[in-house]
């Protein structure tokens, strides 16, 4: 799956919330059956399970999910049917909710958690009742935790991000792999000024950044640098959150970003309006040489650029000596109203077991639905031969961090993206002042969500 797929999916919560508003107004969801807090008691243990996955119909990833369902049925005797939907996933889910005929489970982005909980479409999952739940990487459970501190899904797949660097350019200029931000910036400057492609023209740059405000891209990019610099979006928990986006560490991270655009001029032109559909070609056609992105792009870049021309490196530690990189992924959501709640839980348990996680990785093929395993007991290297995956696996296990847990993260991400985008577009801007205004908007949004004083 490419990054465009991720873009559509990250926007899904807003689409789903809007679509379901009318349904909620009519009170139709209250008739779905079990509520969001129901447990796995009762029901028909042999009732067939209907599973929806957000994958393109006919794709290798759909085939992998079909194989997983077949293996589950063979092991348990419970029939499991998979339906793959993609572009119309949210519309179909809204229609099913209106008809009080939700699927038993869906496998979808962690970003959908807040909206699904708000709409009452999913039921609570108690960690202690999930067989194998204690074998998951602890941070993976954060992707299933809602603002009320309860869990409404079971982690299934994870992903994080690393630097794709033009190895041929770096070696031609005689520069070692960067181990800190200063070295990384120096490499970006060398790519901008050192003619690494040898064509005698000043037509290369260091950083490829999808910096548009659309869908909050600029904040998506910035978050790893914010955390690695020691900054935070908020302090406190639950209903006592306070903005921390204007802290000295956050301001230092913002100033670092602005310098790349305004002082070093090491960012590919047009970044402030670029989303990933425009950013990918800038890396693979030799306009920029450093790109923070995900493992799903390796197959694309191998074909378009050549596997030997670039390398995958972890983001170096920030000024505080640590690296914290954005983590994302998919959860298995147990939908409200299922006739077979015990079967729901068993299917989620099967997906996090050794068989489900290993089969879901699908080796080095395009059918992978588990990008990085969430189970501590499953070794990625035993399934995949491409060692570049291990870079992402190590980053996730040691440095992966999910977006803050709030009722609705989208308004914060969008406000941050707009503030940062405006900051780098105006080289006369003051990062501290920009973040001060952003903190004020965060405070207002926290009040709206009942999470701030």
pTM for the full predicted model: 0.87
Are 79 and 48 within 8 A, CB to CB?
yes
Residue 295 in contact with residue 392, Cβ under 8 Å? Answer: yes
For the cut 70, the answer to whether the pLDDT of residue 328 exceeds it is yes
The string over 399-416, giving b where at least 16 C-beta atoms fall within 10 Å of a residue's C-beta and e elsewhere, is: bbbbbebbbbbbbbbbbb
Segment 231-264, tens digit of pLDDT: 999 999 888 999 999 999 999 999 999 999 999 9
CA distances from 149 to 75, 126, 237 (A): 33, 11, 9
Burial of 346 (0-12, 13-18, 19+ CB in 10 A): buried
Mean predicted confidence (pLDDT) in 5-29: 42
User: Residues 144-169: pLDDT tens digits?
Assistant: 999 999 999 999 999 999 999 999 99
CATH code for the structural domain at 3-160+328-401 = 3.40.190.10
Map 155-200 to HEC letters.
Answer: EEEEEECEEEEEHHHHHHCCCCCCCCHHHHHHHHHHHHHCCCCCCC
Cβ 188 vs Cβ 176: under 8 Å: no
Q: What is the pLDDT of residue 432?
A: 97
Between 34 and 338, name the one with better pLDDT: 338
Task: Find the helix packing angle between 410-425 and 431-448, rounded to 10°.
Answer: 160
Distance, in Å, from the CA atom of 443 to the CA atom of 36, rounded to the nearest integer, reads: 29
Domain boundaries, the chain: 3-160+328-401, 162-326+407-448
Domains 3-160+328-401 and 162-326+407-448 share a fold: yes
**C-alpha dist (Å) from residue 4 to 55, 157, 215:** 13, 18, 12
Residue 279 pLDDT: 97
Predicted pLDDT of residue 20: 45
Backbone angles phi, psi at 183, to 5 degrees: -70, -35
CB 117, CB 15: distance < 8 Å: no
Pick the CATH number of 162-326+407-448 from 3.90.25.10, 3.10.20.30, 3.30.950.10, 3.40.190.10: 3.40.190.10
**How many whole angstroms separate alpha carbon 162 and alpha carbon 292?**
5
Q: How far apart are CA 368 and CA 348, in angstroms?
A: 17
Rg (CA), the chain: 22
| pLDDT at res. 239 | 85
11 CB contacts (<8 Å, ≥6 apart)? 215
pLDDT band at 453 (very low <50, low <70, confident <90, very high): low
Q: pLDDT of 48-97, one tens digit each?
A: 999 999 999 999 999 999 999 999 999 999 999 999 999 889 889 989 99
Q: What is the pLDDT of residues 24-55, one digit of tens each?
A: 433 444 333 334 344 555 789 999 999 999 99
| pLDDT, mean of residues 293-298 | 94
Q: What is the mean pLDDT of the chain?
A: 91
Q: What DSSP string runs through 258-285?
A: HHHHHTS--BPTTGGG--HHHHHHHHHT
For 406-435, the pLDDT digits (tens) are 999 999 999 999 999 999 999 999 999 999
Strand-pairing partners, residue 354, are none
């Amino acid at each position: 799956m490419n990054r465009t797929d991720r873009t559509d999916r990250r926007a899904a919560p807003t689409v789903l919330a809007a679509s379901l508003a009318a349904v909620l107004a009519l009170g139709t969801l209250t008739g779905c059956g079990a509520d969001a807090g129901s447990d796995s008691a009762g029901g028909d243990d042999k009732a067939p399970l209907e599973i929806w996955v957000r994958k393109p119909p006919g794709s290798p990833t759909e085939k992998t999910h079909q194989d997983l369902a077949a293996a589950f049925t063979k092991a348990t005797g419970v029939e499991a049917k998979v339906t793959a939907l993609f572009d119309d996933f949210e519309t179909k889910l809204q229609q099913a909710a209106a008809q009080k005929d939700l699927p038993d489970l869906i496998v979808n982005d962690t970003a959908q958690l807040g909206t699904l909980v708000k709409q009452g479409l999913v039921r609570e999952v108690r960690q202690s009742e999930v067989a194998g739940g204690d074998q998951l990487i602890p941070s993976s459970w954060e992707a299933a935790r809602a603002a009320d501190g309860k869990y409404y899904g079971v982690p299934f797949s994870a992903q994080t991000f690393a630097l794709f660097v033009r190895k041929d350019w770096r070696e031609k200029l005689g520069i070692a792999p960067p181990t800190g931000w200063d070295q990384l910036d120096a490499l970006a400057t060398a790519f901008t000024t050192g003619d690494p492609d040898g064509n005698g023209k000043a037509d290369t740059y260091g950083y490829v950044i999808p910096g548009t405000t659309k869908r909050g891209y600029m904040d998506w990019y910035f978050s790893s640098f914010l955390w690695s610099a020691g900054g935070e979006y908020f302090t406190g928990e639950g209903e006592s959150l306070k903005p921390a986006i204007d802290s000295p560490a956050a301001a230092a991270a913002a100033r670092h970003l602005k310098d790349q655009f305004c002082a070093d001029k090491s960012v590919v032109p047009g970044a402030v309006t670029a989303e990933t559909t425009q950013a990918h070609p800038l890396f693979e056609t030799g306009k920029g040489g450093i790109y923070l992105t995900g493992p799903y792009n390796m197959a694309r870049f191998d074909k378009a650029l050549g596997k030997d021309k670039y390398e995958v490196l972890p983001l170096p530690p920030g000024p505080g000596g640590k690296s914290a990189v954005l983590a994302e992924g998919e959860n298995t959501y147990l939908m409200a109203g299922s006739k077979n709640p015990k079967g729901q839980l068993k299917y989620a348990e099967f997906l996090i077991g050794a068989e489900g996680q290993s089969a879901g990785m699908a080796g080095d093929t395009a059918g992978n639905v588990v990008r990085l395993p969430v189970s501590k007991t499953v070794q990625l290297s035993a399934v995949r031969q491409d060692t570049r995956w291990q870079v992402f696996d190590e980053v996730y296990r040691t440095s992966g961090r999910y977006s803050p847990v709030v009722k609705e993260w989208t308004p914060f991400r969008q406000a941050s993206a707009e503030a940062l985008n405006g900051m780098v577009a105006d080289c006369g801007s003051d990062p501290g002042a920009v973040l001060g205004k952003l903190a004020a908007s965060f405070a207002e949004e926290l009040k709206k969500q009942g999470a701030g004083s």
